[in-house]
Structure 1
């Protein structure tokens, strides 16, 4: 897959793609996109409704499904994902991600309704060439019904494609005397799709969390801000044996991360 940096060319790309990916029954109707009252798109789901988190090297495969209805039956459905400021006007970071050629198989749920599945594979080294591509991607869906009905929707669904993050935590001293200060240090990093490496993520809130030994629930002790290079430092008072960790909530463009826990013996 190669992401095309042109939302403005979306209509033409999808018409071309329909002839390549639809089953034979659908190809007969894969003409210019139109809207017929008797063909409707009822639901579009991308990646089972979950965020897509992408690192710097590993490919990520996922699917999108189009559920459509037509009184005479549904012959095909297809999806492309697009990113930009709006569907009609390409923004600076606009991009188009068509589904893979050859995908688009449909399963009938009845005489009038079918769900069609298309496949995507994202390669961070070849596809996500800009960090600005992180964030919300909208689904442009097409459905084809018999005998010649069709409909399309540029805002049929959405998914967040996020840059992966890593987070570490190390508490010291170990062991520590009751009532003394414990210092927890770690590093928060984020995938850079332009350099294909991880870089420190600074100036974002990170929570210091604690779980008392023998319990299963973490509580947040305080929130600190990551520093240069993604460095995270927090202090607390030793009150009893337990586990310390850092947690970053993430955003619509950056994945959440929780560090491994570090146990501290309090004497």
Structure 2
């Protein structure tokens, strides 16, 4: 239902045929930036507003411009997407000089509407700019960007305190936003680093790599050496951002 809603939003918009790039004249689109150049990370329930900025140029000046966000091979075959929040879906373009305009559009990505789990990953920006002399440029993908499911990671180290040289058991869980259930689900089969920072220092060092089980849980053991903080660290994937768990302090006694 969420994907259908996104697809309907795209097909309902009156835009030129979008199967391939098309250009007439000297119109150009450049400097496309999505979300300030950062991945778009969305939690389990809250909607996320995403701003896209770009430059449009033509020797006669820019009449109007529009961008659409979508997931899929092209905008016609998108399985989800978003049209700008403006009343007519076009960008707000501000004239810089006789040939150049700076344009901005804001979009909303929302779990269970235009976000379901399978559309996490690479999204694209479809764009069109129309000039005052009738020239235009249409591009199926002027920019690719990442839409990710927010990740969470925990660490618990026991016992506290522990005698020097004895075993410390470190457990935790890696989870990420489930856009369909509105909750956080365990992320299975992922390599996660166990790291240690000696008390009084600022740098974590990796002790070993552990894989999450079928529920996203982590559990491993190490020998205690000194007072310090244990944490798990996940490097991230294309559809899930990197995350470090807060360090858990374990004091060592003789």
What TM-score, normalized to structure 2?
0.88
Structure 2 gap ranges (5+): none
Per-residue deviation, 1:143 = 1.3
Match of 1:5 in 2: 7
Task: Compare the two structures and name the one with the higher strand fraction.
Answer: 2
Equivalences, count:
245
- 1:95 pairs, out of 80, 105, 122, with 80
1:163 paired with 2:149, answer: yes
Q: Is 2:120–2:147's contact at 8 Å kept on the other side of the alignment?
A: yes
Give the aligned CA root-mean-square deviation in angstroms: 2.3
- 1:190 pairs, out of 176, 195, 200, with 176
Distance 1:143 1:136 in 2: 23
Distance 2:75 2:122 in 1: 16
Distance 2:39 2:179 in 1: 17
Match of 1:124 in 2: 111
Match of 1:57 in 2: 45
Q: Is 2:188–2:216's contact at 8 Å kept on the other side of the alignment?
A: yes
Q: Is 1:210–1:219's contact at 8 Å kept on the other side of the alignment?
A: yes
Distance 2:220 2:98 in 1: 61
CA offsets, 1:118-156, max 9 Å, x none? 01112213221x211101001001112222221111110
> 3-state SS of the aligned residue for 1:48?
helix
Q: Is 1:78–1:117's contact at 8 Å kept on the other side of the alignment?
A: no
What TM-score, normalized to structure 1?
0.84
> 3-state SS of the aligned residue for 1:132?
helix
